[in-house]
Amino acid sequence: MSRFIILWFVLFFLGMGAVFAQVSPDCGNAIPICNNTPVNGGTIGFGMDDFNSAAKSGCLEQTLSGVIESNSAWYRFRTGASGQLGFNIGIDTFEDWDFALYKSDNCNNLGEPVRCNFFDNQDENTFVGVGEDPTGNTENVQYEAWLDVTPGEDYYLLINNFSNINSGFSIQFSGHIFVTNPFDALDCSIINNLLGPPIAACENENIVLDGTTSDATSYRWFVDSGSGFTEIVGETNSTYQVAQSANYRVEVIRPSETIISDVQVSFSTMPVANAVSDDASCSGLEIYDLSQKDAEVLGSQGLSEFLVSYHNSKSDAVAGFNALPKKYPTQSGSETIFVRITSIANSKCFDASEQFQLINLETPNLDISEEAFLCDDDTGVVIGLENGNTDFTYQWSSGETTPTLMVSEAGEYKLTATNTKSGLVCSASKVVRVAVSRPPEITDIIIDDLKNNNTVTVITDVTGIYEYRLDNGPYQEGHKFYQVEPGMHTISVNNPQGCGEVTEEIAVIGFPKFFTPNGDNSNDYWSITGVDLLDSAIVSIYDRFGKLLAQLDAADSEWDGSYNGELLPESDYWFKLTYTRADGQIVTAQYINNHFSLKR
């Protein structure tokens, strides 16, 4: 939010009596405003038609009255400095007020308004105007852009009550121009009066009216509290100290003339900011509603009489700068919120003595695994949060108070982490399920010789939890490998639960399931393909009784179905394949379906 300062803020309701009313329904008699002028609120219809039956003026349109004005009040002011200027019109939330601002010094030549707003108040806003809503409401559509002004510019402001029901209004000027020029932002020379413009003061403020005039021979002071002016007996000095709200008059007798000057003085109640308790929320709350603290600040003081605002610094609260939005985005950690309570009758009457801590407490984040496994040979497994936060407390369902826990039995273990500060407790829990697991066991490997697509299927004792790898390839969930090249291979089975890995060496070879040694030169020999890829491979062939019939090697790799020169009968035969491993050990190839048939 841009910097802005509330210079003054005065509200008079119609019910307070006509003596205090400053209302003009006509542009020609517009009420002059300068730096210290109280702006009385309320409208009582309209006088003459200042727009000569026009249908529109800027955003304003004809009302049910048949003209643009229905219940109108006119004001005028002149700028005394350069800078950013705005104003806030305080209204009842159930009423509909519009405004138009004209840059002109002539009611007969107003031109088009430089700022104008005709929105209805369906959002029940408490302010309309130019600049920014002092409550911090950035979504208020009844606000127009700031004015950039230079000295000597004249303006006329029309405030119109469209709802025909009104409880009065206030005008509050704002903008950076009051920071650079706090005493002459608005030119008071437009008010020609010995006692000066009306005075808005805070209770207990020392207000002295000064009627000093050269060549004066005597002074008389009068007061009007609502029943007409009466003389204040005994007051004959050139100055008079005011003690209560009223209209005051001085009569100055000079040899050549008598000067009579009136001034309105209004005292506003000085608000008192009550102590505000600290507040806190757990992380995850995105918006904190500051308005819930209003009742604490106000105490028995009425919300209709005072405006409560919140600020990020003491200096902002004192000056009325940068009011925080009531729907305040929470900040991580702790921050100090400074409170200002301002009189709606006069914004010079304020108290910015209170503050409170707003804590957005971190909720622990339990980023831990919800599963853990005990292996067969484990004495225990560590679960929980490896790097705990020293600001948090930890509690396991089993009673331990550490962020980690060594467990040796399967079961469910619940960890609760708690962050406590300023009476606020933010906690998070997570359950870790510990199960028993064990290393994998290969029970069989099925090697299917499909010539161009050798398939290897790994059978284990448990299905569904292991991962499989062929040689140095990546692990996979499936237990089948396709298009496996002939030769030696390593099968690895891993338990991803951390309970070990097992490996097996296999030989992938090809051989016919039967052969027909009948001399027709078709399938007369039985042999194994791929043995040339093995070191010192020997194939031993047996009959069903285990008798060794033949041995094949790389040099003599075919069998003709005979034994010692005699043809063997049709039957099933078996073979065994041995080879030398890289470590020099002679081993027998496993997982080979070493059965074939001889047919004649």
Tell me if 122 is assigned to some domain.
yes
H/E stretch holding 224: strand 218-224
DSSP per position, 439-504: ---EEEEEEE--TTS-EEEEEESS-SS-EEEETTS--BSSSEE-SPPSEEEEEEEE-TTTS-EEEE
Q: Please, which residues have CB within 8 angstroms of residue 545's CB and are 6 or more apart in sequence? A: none
Place of tokens 């007996």: 233
Give me the percent of the chain exceeding a pLDDT of 90.
51
In a domain, 95, yes or no: yes
Confirm whether 530 is domain-assigned.
yes
pLDDT at 81: 95
| 594 lies in the same domain as 473 | no
Identify the pLDDT of residue 14.
28
**Positions in the chain short of pLDDT 70:** 1-22, 36-41, 164, 284, 422, 450-452
232 in the same domain as 131: no
- The two structure tokens encoding residue 385: 């949060």
- C-alpha 301/C-alpha 164 separation (Å) is 29
Give the CATH number for residue 574: 2.60.40
pLDDT at position 2, please? 34
Give the span between the Cα atoms of 161 and 28, in whole angstroms: 19
Coil, helix or strand at residue 315? helix
The domain total for the chain is: 6
The answer to whether the beta carbons of residues 90 and 170 sit under 8 Å apart is yes
Domain CATH code at residue 129: 2.60.120.380
- Residues whose CB falls within 8 Å of the CB of residue 16, separated by 6 or more in sequence, listed in order: none
Amino acid at 66: G
Asked if residue 297 belongs to a domain, the reply is: yes
What is each CA distance from 523 to 132, 145, 379, in whole angstroms? 100, 100, 60
Please check whether residues 544 and 580 belong to one and the same domain.
Answer: yes
* pLDDT tens sequence across 423-463: 778 999 999 999 888 888 899 888 887 566 789 999 998 87
Angle at 135 between CA 2 and CA 95, to 5 degrees: 125
d(C-alpha 341, C-alpha 353), whole Å: 9
**What CA–CA distance (Å, rounded) separates 221 from 239?**
9
Model confidence pLDDT, tens digit, residues 323-371: 999 999 988 778 999 999 999 878 889 999 999 998 888 889 899 999 9
Residues 392 and 407 in one domain: yes
CATH number at residue 235: 2.60.40.2700
Residue 594 maps to a domain: yes
Helical (H) or strand (E) element with 199: strand 199-202
Amino acid identity at 35: N
- Domain span at residue 543 reads 514-598
Q: Is 554 helix (H, G, I), strand (E, B) or coil?
A: coil
On whether both 60 and 141 belong to a single domain, the answer is yes
Please indicate, yes or no, whether residues 179 and 95 belong to a single structural domain of this protein. yes
Mark whether 555 and 581 lie in a shared domain: yes
